[in-house]
Amino acid sequence: MTTRVDDWPDRLFETLKRGGVRQVSYVPDAGHARLIDRCCADSEIRDVALTTEEEGVALAAGAWLGGERAALLMQSSGVGNCINMFSLARTCRFPLLMLITMRGEWEEFNPWQVPMGSIVDPVLKLCEAEVYRAHTPEEVAGAAERAVQQAFGGERIAAVILSQQLIGKKVWTK
Amino acid sequence: MRLERRVAMATLLANRGDDLLLIPGLGSTTWDAAAAGDDDRNFYLWGAMGGAAMIGLGLALAQPKRRVAVITGDGEILMGLGSLATIGIQRPSNLAVIVFDNGVYGETGMQPSHTQSGVDLIGIAGACGIGACLDVRDEGALADLARRLKHLSETLFARVLIAAEEPPRVLPLRDGVALKERFRTAIGIKP
């Protein structure tokens, strides 16, 4: 399958569908806008808008208790909001699949995004997450497939990190 | 005279039925649930403060044919107030969020919580779009809540005003993996 530069969100959507994900939670995010739209338009997926990302960690635990698979979409700043709630997934070995768009790295205009963005990888690893990073559109599907397998097959925390190069610069003037 | 928490929990769980799934919140409501009688369909929380209502939401969405009760404390729900907004726009008909409100943080030494100074959980839940919000202050209202929980037909929020007392702790299983597996097995989910 050829992957165009801008259709990697469709690859993520297809991976979630193949993986049997039924609940997708998110805090609205420009980088995930297309994926969120596709999940909202899908009749088999319950889309759950959150007020803060840690809600999605708890939602995914509840979904698994009830026999459903969930995914949590967020931007890198959201990782910091989740850290204590990750203890729920770690202690109970709940599957937790996260798709994370990066801010604070490639051509970031807003310096306030840098402190959290720069520690996303080590923080996730300290929290015992399996981390798969995609720098290019071609790497997205494979990273997502491996994360789905790790999360639901191994009952682990698994994160796909989508580099800011994939998402592009935020446009600040209109 | 405020309600006694152990009596309130026992009243809500009496003849609970096979289809009631319970998420008690971190702290005293977990001890209350254990005191009312252990059940494989209780997922006790020993952590994840602020997460009880959202665990209940994920479970309610995944199990629409079963009733889900989150029974937690005022301090626990205050840490996750945003979850009431999230539940307010999902509104699964099989979810009840019940807050035992004693106005204090019992586990840490009875320090006052925001509700003691007037923060109105019922008003917040109503403003978040939850249509059925009950203020439970006496045995009659508690019995009514128990009835409504039996025949849950819309997202329900209830604040149960309880006394600030510390009954003896009854500690349930605290192995999270074991709690998770027995819960899933009890409701027929294959590994």
Looking up tokens 């996730």 gives A124
How high is the pLDDT of residue A6?
82
Option in B83, B180, B187 nearest A94 (CB): B180
Between CA B39 and CA B45 the distance in angstroms is 14
Pull the structure tokens for residue A167: 């998402």
Number of independent structural domains in chain B? 1
Tell me if ipTM is over 0.90. yes
In a domain, B15, yes or no: yes
pLDDT band at B8 (very low <50, low <70, confident <90, very high): very high
In a domain, B191, yes or no: no
What CA–CA distance (Å, rounded) separates A13 from A1?
15
CA distance A18 to A8: 15
Query: What percent of chain A is predicted at pLDDT more than 90?
Result: 85
Mean of all residue pLDDT scores within chain A: 94
Q: Does the predicted TM-score (pTM) go above 0.95?
A: yes
DSSP A8-70: HHHHHHHHHHHTTEEEEEE---STTHHHHHHHHH-TT-EEEE-SSTHHHHHHHHHHHHTT-EE
Amino acid at site A160: V
Q: Are A24 and A99 in contact (CB under 8 A)?
A: no
Instruction: Report A:116-155 residues touching B (Cβ under 8 A).
Output: none
In the prediction, which pLDDT does A109 show? 84
pLDDT value, residue B1: 79
User: Residue B34 belongs to what domain range?
Assistant: 5-186
pLDDT in tens, A23-72: 999 999 999 999 999 999 999 999 999 999 999 999 999 999 999 999 99
Q: Which two tokens stand for residue A34?
A: 């297309």
Give residue A159's pLDDT: 98
What residues contact residue A77 under an 8 Å CB cut-off, 6+ apart?
Answer: A103, A104, A113, A116, A117
Query: Does residue A1 have a pLDDT over 60?
Result: no
| Chain B interface disruption, residue of A46, A50, A55, most B CBs within 10 A | A55
Residues 6+ apart with CB under 8 A from B135: B122, B141, B158, B159, B161
> Do B187 and A67 lie within an 8 Å CB cutoff?
yes
User: Is B85 part of a structural domain of the chain?
Assistant: yes
Tell me the domain boundaries of chain A.
8-111+133-154
Q: What is the pLDDT of residues B148-176, one digit of tens each?
A: 999 999 999 999 999 999 999 999 999 99
Q: What is the CATH number of the domain that holds B123?
A: 3.40.50.970
For A106-133, write each residue's pLDDT tens digit: 888 889 999 999 999 999 999 999 999 9
Q: What DSSP character marks residue A151? A: I
Name the DSSP letter for residue B166: -
What is the CATH class of A8-111+133-154? alpha beta
